C-alpha cells in the first residue's frame, strides 16, 4: 500500500510505540489522526509531526468507552477522510504491579477487555464497513508475546491479546473477499512506559527503541498482500517481504 | 401508514415491497430477498455519508439549532432555529424561536460557540452561522454536544449509532440517508457473490421537515455530493454490460442525475452541489431502479419516486403496503421500484 495521501488512525498515540507509529506513518505521507485519553500529550505529538511537514490531528477519546467510539470514528473521517489504515495500539495492562489471576478483580479483567478487545472491535466495525465498500483498507492489531505464552501474573492482558490476535484473523477471514486486510504484530520488548509499568526493573538499554519497531510495522502495512491476510507477525524477526 | 418508532434488531427480516411498474406487479418480500431481486451485472449504488449530530441546544434560550447545510470549510453552516422544546414535540407545534440579528452569538457549551453571519430575509428562522473553532477542536465539540436530528414519532432519544448505515464513512449527512440503513453486510456480501457490483457516492442528505410550510417548500436545499472515479467506472461498467443502476435512496438519485445533468447527460466524477428537483415527468438518465424507504404522498421523497413509476401506481403500492402493515419513515420498511432486467 502506498501511504501517500492515505488516512490513518492510531490509538494510544500520545507516547511510546503509538507516537512512533504516527510519526512514521506521517513521514511516509499519510494524514494521521492520533488518539489518546488526554489531549495535551497528543497535541505535543501533533505539533511535532506538523512541524516536520507531516499532517496530524489529535483527538481525545477513551477506547474503552462505548459512547466514545462513533464520535471518534466520524470526527476522524471529517478531518482526514475515510480511514485507510487503522492501528489498534492502545492497551491497558490492568492494575500494576501485575498480579495472579486469583488476585485479579473481575472488574479489572472487564476493563482490560474493554480497552484491548471490545473497543478495537467497535472501532473496526465502524471503519471497516467503508473499507469493504471501497475494496481496500488495513487494520493492524498491536499484540504481545503474552498473547501466546502464559506468563504468570500477566493474565488479564494476556487473555485480551490472545483474543485480539484471533479477532485479527476473523476480520481477515470475513473481509478478505472485500479487499480488507487485517493482521496482528508482536512488537517485542520495547523501551516504553507500558513495559516499565509491567517490568519496572528491566534494563532500558536491553530494550528495542519504539521508533525502530514502528518502521518495521509501517513496512508491513506497505507490504500489502505480500503478507498473508490474518497473519500474526513478529517485529523482531521481520526481515521484509522482498 | 404507521411510522416505525425505533430501530429494529434484524434488518434482514424487515419488509421489502417489490414494485414493478412495467409489469404492474406489487410483490411482498423481505430485505434478505434483495439478492434474488437484483440480477448479476446490476450495480447497487449506496450513499456512504455518515449522519452528523446536527441538533445543537442553545444555552439559555431553550432554542435548538439544526444544521441544514455546510457552506464552506468546517466553520460555516446554514441552520434552522427551533423554539424551546425538543424532538418530542412535533416540529409544526414547536414555539417560534427567539429571533437573532447578524452578529449575535450562540453558545452551545463552554467549548462550542457560533456567530450568526446572515439571516434569511423571508425566513428569519433560517440563518447562516460561523463556529468559533475549526479542525479537531470543532469536530470534537460538535460530537460531544450535538445529537442526531429526530422527529416526534420516534419516542426515545436516538444515539449516534442508531442513525448510521453499516458503511458510513464521511460525516456529511444532516439526517440519515435511511434507504441504506437496512442493508446488512450479509446481504451486501451475497449481492457481490452473485455478481452485483456495489458502488458508493457521498451525498449530504438534508433535513426532511422544519415545521413551517413556507420553509419546507425550500426543501431539499442544495446538497453537497461527491462521486469519485471508482464509482463512475463501476457504474459505467454495469451499464455497458446491460446491468441496471439501482440507487439506494433519493439522495443517490439526486447525486447521479445532477452529475449527468451537468455533464451533457453522461455520468462523470464530480464534487458538486445537487440542486436538481426530481419528480413525476423527470426522465432519469443514469438510474434505472430505486431502493427506498416508505414515504407518504406529499413529501419531496415521494415526488422523486414519481420519476420511476406513475403516481397512481405508486399510490396503489402504498395502499397495499398500508393494508399489509408495512411501516414508514427512516426506521420503517423498504420498497424496490424498478422493472426486472429482461422484462
Query: For A148-197, what is each residue's pLDDT tens digit?
Result: 999 999 999 999 999 999 999 999 999 999 999 999 999 999 888 888 89
Looking at residue B302, its pLDDT comes to 86
Return the C-alpha torsion angle A97, A99, A103, A105, nearest 10: 70
Q: Is the pLDDT of residue B342 over 70?
A: no
Q: Is the pLDDT of residue B309 over 60?
A: yes
Q: Is the pLDDT of residue A142 over 60?
A: yes
Q: Is B169 in contact with A130 (Cβ distance < 8 A)?
A: yes
Distance, in Å, from the CA atom of A196 to the CA atom of A96, rounded to the nearest integer, reads 10
Q: B88-144: per-residue pLDDT in tens?
A: 999 999 999 988 999 999 999 999 999 999 999 999 999 999 999 999 999 999 999
Looking at residue B328, its pLDDT comes to 93
Q: B43-57: per-residue pLDDT in tens?
A: 999 999 999 999 999
Q: Touching check for A180 and chain B: CB below 8 Å? A: no
Q: Is the pLDDT of residue B70 over 90?
A: yes
Q: Output the average pLDDT for chain A.
A: 96
Distance, in Å, from the CA atom of B330 to the CA atom of B173, rounded to the nearest integer, reads 14
Task: State pTM to two decimals.
Answer: 0.96
* Neighbour count for residue B319 (Cβ, 10 Å): 12
The H or E element containing residue B274 is strand B270-274
Distance, in Å, from the CA atom of A149 to the CA atom of B316, rounded to the nearest integer, reads 66
Q: Output the average pLDDT for chain B.
A: 94
A chain contacts of residue B146, beta-carbon cutoff 8 Å? none
Looking at residue A123, its pLDDT comes to 98
Q: A77-110: per-residue pLDDT in tens?
A: 999 999 999 999 999 999 999 999 999 999 999 9
Q: Is the pLDDT of residue B340 over 80?
A: no
3-state secondary structure of B222: coil
Give, in order, the Cα–Cα distances in Å from B219 to each of A189, A192, B63, B196.
59, 55, 22, 33
> Which positions 314-343 of B are in contact with A (Cβ < 8 Å)?
none
DSSP string, A55-123: EEEEEE--TT-HHHHHHHHHHHHHHH-S-SEEEE------SSS---GGG--HHHHHHHHIIIIIHHHHH
CA distance B171 to chain A (A): 6
CA distance B278 to chain A (A): 27
With pLDDT > 90 as the criterion, what percentage of chain A qualifies?
A: 91
Residues in chain A: 242
Q: Is the pLDDT of residue A127 over 90?
A: yes
Looking at residue A240, its pLDDT comes to 83
Looking at residue B276, its pLDDT comes to 87
User: In this structure, are residues A89 and A17 in contact, taking their beta carbons and an 8 Å threshold?
Assistant: yes
Residues in chain B: 343
Q: Which residues of A are catalytic?
A: 143, 157, 161
DSSP string, B124-137: TTEEEEEES--HHH
Chain A and chain B share a number of CB contacts under 8 A equal to 75
- Describe the crossing of helices A106-113 and A155-175 by its angle, rounded to 10 degrees: 30
Nearest Cβ partner for A133 among B74, B171, B200: B200
Q: Is the pLDDT of residue B343 over 60?
A: no
Looking at residue B220, its pLDDT comes to 87
Q: State how beta strands B245-248 and B289-293 pair.
A: parallel
* Residue located via cell numbers 492482558: A157
Q: Is A240 or B6 the better-scoring residue by pLDDT?
A: B6
CA distance B160 to chain A (A): 7
Closest chain B CA to residue A127: B169
Closest chain A CA to residue B186: A174
Looking at residue B80, its pLDDT comes to 97
With pLDDT > 90 as the criterion, what percentage of chain B qualifies?
A: 88
Looking at residue A241, its pLDDT comes to 75
Q: What is the ipTM of this complex?
A: 0.95
Q: Is the pLDDT of residue A242 over 80?
A: no
User: In this structure, are residues B245 and B286 in contact, taking their beta carbons and an 8 Å threshold?
Assistant: yes
Q: Touching check for A199 and chain B: CB below 8 Å? A: no
A chain contacts of residue B159, beta-carbon cutoff 8 Å? 67
Looking at residue A239, its pLDDT comes to 83
Mean pLDDT of B196-206: 97
Q: Touching check for B185 and chain A: CB below 8 Å? A: yes
CA within 13 Å, CB half, B168: 35
Q: Is B139 in contact with A82 (Cβ distance < 8 A)?
A: no
Amino acid at each position: 500500500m502506498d501511504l501517500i495521501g492515505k488516512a490513518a488512525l492510531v490509538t494510544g498515540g500520545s507516547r511510546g510505540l503509538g507516537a512512533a507509529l504516527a510519526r512514521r506513518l506521517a513521514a511516509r505521507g499519510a494524514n494521521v489522526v492520533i488518539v489518546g485519553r488526554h489531549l495535551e500529550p497528543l497535541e505535543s505529538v501533533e505539533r511535532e509531526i506538523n512541524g516536520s511537514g507531516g499532517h496530524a490531528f489529535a483527538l481525545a477519546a477513551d477506547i474503552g468507552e462505548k459512547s466514545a467510539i462513533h464520535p471518534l470514528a466520524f470526527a476522524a473521517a471529517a478531518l482526514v477522510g475515510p480511514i485507510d489504515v487503522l492501528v489498534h495500539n492502545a492497551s491497558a495492562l490492568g492494575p500494576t504491579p501485575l498480579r495472579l489471576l486469583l488476585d485479579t478483580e473481575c472488574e479489572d479483567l472487564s476493563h482490560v477487555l474493554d480497552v484491548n478487545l471490545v473497543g478495537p472491535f467497535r472501532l473496526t466495525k465502524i471503519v471497516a464497513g467503508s473499507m469493504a465498500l471501497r475494496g481496500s483498507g488495513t487494520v493492524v492489531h498491536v499484540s504481545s508475546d503474552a498473547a501466546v505464552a502464559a506468563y504468570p501474573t500477566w493474565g488479564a492482558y494476556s487473555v485480551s491479546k490472545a483474543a485480539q490476535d484471533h479477532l485479527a484473523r476473523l476480520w481477515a477471514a470475513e473481509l478478505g473477499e472485500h479487499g480488507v486486510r487485517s493482521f496482528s504484530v508482536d512488537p517485542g520488548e520495547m523501551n516504553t512506559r507500558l513495559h516499565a509499568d509491567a517490568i519496572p526493573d528491566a534494563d532500558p538499554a536491553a530494550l528495542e527503541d519504539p521508533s525502530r519497531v514502528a518502521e518495521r510495522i509501517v513496512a508491513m502495512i506497505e507490504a500489502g498482500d505480500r503478507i498473508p491476510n490474518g497473519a500474526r507477525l513478529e517485529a523482531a524477526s521481520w526481515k521484509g517481504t522482498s | 401508514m404507521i411510522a416505525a418508532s425505533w430501530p429494529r434488531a434484524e434488518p434482514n427480516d424487515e419488509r421489502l415491497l417489490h414494485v414493478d411498474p412495467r409489469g404492474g406487479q406489487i410483490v411482498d418480500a423481505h430485505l434478505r430477498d434483495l439478492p434474488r431481486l437484483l440480477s448479476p451485472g446490476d450495480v447497487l449504488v449506496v450513499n456512504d455519508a455518515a449522519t452528523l449530530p446536527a441538533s445543537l441546544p442553545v444555552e439559555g434560550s431553550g432554542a435548538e439549532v439544526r444544521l441544514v447545510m455546510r457552506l464552506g470549510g468546517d466553520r460555516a453552516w446554514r441552520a434552522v432555529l427551533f423554539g424551546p422544546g425538543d424532538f418530542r414535540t412535533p416540529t409544526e407545534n414547536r414555539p417560534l424561536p427567539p429571533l437573532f440579528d447578524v452578529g449575535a452569538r450562540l453558545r452551545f457549551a463552554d467549548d462550542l460557540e457560533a456567530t450568526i453571519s446572515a439571516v434569511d430575509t423571508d425566513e428569519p428562522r433560517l440563518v447562516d452561522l460561523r463556529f468559533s473553532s475549526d479542525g479537531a477542536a470543532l469536530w470534537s465539540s460538535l460530537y460531544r454536544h450535538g445529537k442526531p436530528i429526530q422527529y416526534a414519532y420516534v419516542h426515545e432519544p436516538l444515539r449516534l449509532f442508531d442513525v448510521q448505515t453499516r458503511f458510513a464513512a464521511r460525516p456529511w449527512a444532516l439526517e440519515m440517508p435511511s434507504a441504506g440503513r437496512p442493508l446488512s453486510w450479509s446481504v451486501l456480501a451475497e449481492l457481490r457473490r452473485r455478481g452485483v457490483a456495489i458502488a458508493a457516492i457521498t451525498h449530504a442528505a438534508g433535513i426532511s421537515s422544519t415545521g413551517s410550510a413556507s420553509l419546507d417548500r425550500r426543501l431539499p436545499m442544495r446538497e453537497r455530493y461527491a462521486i469519485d472515479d471508482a464509482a463512475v467506472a463501476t457504474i459505467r461498467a454495469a451499464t455497458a454490460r446491460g446491468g441496471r443502476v439501482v440507487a439506494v435512496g433519493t439522495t443517490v438519485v439526486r447525486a447521479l442525475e445532477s452529475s449527468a445533468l451537468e455533464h451533457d447527460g453522461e455520468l462523470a466524477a464530480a464534487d458538486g452541489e445537487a440542486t436538481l428537483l426530481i419528480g413525476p415527468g423527470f426522465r432519469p438518465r443514469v438510474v434505472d431502479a430505486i431502493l427506498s424507504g416508505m414515504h407518504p404522498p406529499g413529501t419531496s421523497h415521494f415526488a422523486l419516486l414519481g420519476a420511476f413509476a406513475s403516481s397512481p401506481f405508486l399510490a396503489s403500492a402504498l395502499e397495499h403496503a398500508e393494508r399489509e402493515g408495512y411501516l414508514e419513515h427512516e426506521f420503517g420498511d423498504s420498497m424496490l421500484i424498478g422493472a426486472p432486467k429482461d422484462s
